[in-house]
Amino acid sequence: MKRRVEPVYYLFLVPTLVLFTAFVVGPALVGIFYSFTDYIGVGTWSFIGLSNYLALFDDPAILQSYTFTLGFAAVTVIIAQVIALGLAVGLSSRIRFLASLRSVFVLPMVLSGIVVAYVFSFLFSNTLPAAATAIGFAPLEQSILGNPDLAWLSIVIVSAWQTIPGAMLVYIGGLTAIPADLYEVSALDGAGPWRQFRSITVPLISGFIVINTILGVKGYLGAYDVIVGLTGGGPGTSTRSVAVTIFGGFTGGDYAYQMTNATIFFVLTVLISIVQLIATRGRMVRL
């Protein structure tokens, strides 16, 4: 017997599909269309075929932005996940003021990225150099934001600081779902905290690790506001991400070329997500 779909489901589904198509799918298809033209954002245009795509792969500035973005995303996702998991384990234990501590650690997640970036920009440009000068630590007496070799560290620090709370909450949800009996039985068998963490905790929250990693990589690949607020893509082009490059081109009369860049970047992001899912298939444990 065919199951009847309640009309109320369509009441929620249809408006969402219409809005998603109008404001996401539609503009994306228009952008892909313009990537095959010489459109500058205004005026007339003409088809130029694959010229933008061929030029993109020979553009050193574009290649540099991809190198920075991929490297930044890889480093930040590892740092953020390790710290988030450590905090989640600590905040899932029986300690005093647990609710208050969780609230404090979640605060960075609700703050605007651009505001956070400006605050940290002041700290990196003034407070940190002043403190380094006071204690005689020469490497940090100058702002790292002006150092092409160190500026990327500031972006990693701020991006991780802002995204750790969200990942931590996911891990806390996974940890609370693990039966306490497993730890009690393992303790009777002589397993210490580290062995319990390796043999019980990590395997049973592997699904949550996958979720956090995929979401983290996706978010870091699209990093924009933190970079604009901290370095603006500088010094020079040393911290210019793909997103910063794309938006800069939109306002600089390079619309079609950067739409080509955006299309390639979208495909790359999808491929990375698919690879992550395939690589972790079969490792997600259900409790």
- Establish if 180 belongs to a structural domain: yes
Domain that holds residue 142: 51-280
Average pLDDT over residues 195-223: 88
Average pLDDT over residues 19-27: 90
State the pLDDT at residue 287.
41
pLDDT digits (tens, 9 = 90+) for 131-154: 989 888 887 888 889 888 889 999
Kindly write down the DSSP assignment for every residue of 63-83, as one continuous string: HHHHHHHHHHHHHHHHHHHHH
Q: Could you tell me the pLDDT band of residue 99, with boundaries at 50, 70 and 90?
A: low
CATH of the domain at 84: 1.10.3720.10
Q: Which residues contact 156 (CB under 8 A, 6 or more apart)?
A: 72, 75, 76, 79
State the pLDDT at residue 196.
86
Dist CA 219 CA 77 (whole Å): 9
Q: Could you tell me the pLDDT band of residue 90, with boundaries at 50, 70 and 90?
A: confident
- Establish if 15 belongs to a structural domain: no
Residue 281 has pLDDT above 70, yes or no: no
Residue 283 has pLDDT above 60, yes or no: no
The total of structural domains in the chain comes to: 1
Tokens describing residue 21: 């198509």
Residue 75 has pLDDT above 90, yes or no: yes
- Its pTM stands at 0.84
Residue 222 has pLDDT above 80, yes or no: yes
- Establish if 150 belongs to a structural domain: yes
Residue 285 has pLDDT above 60, yes or no: no
- Establish if 255 belongs to a structural domain: yes
CB atoms within 10 A of CB 74: 12
Tokens describing residue 118: 């400006």
- Establish if 206 belongs to a structural domain: yes
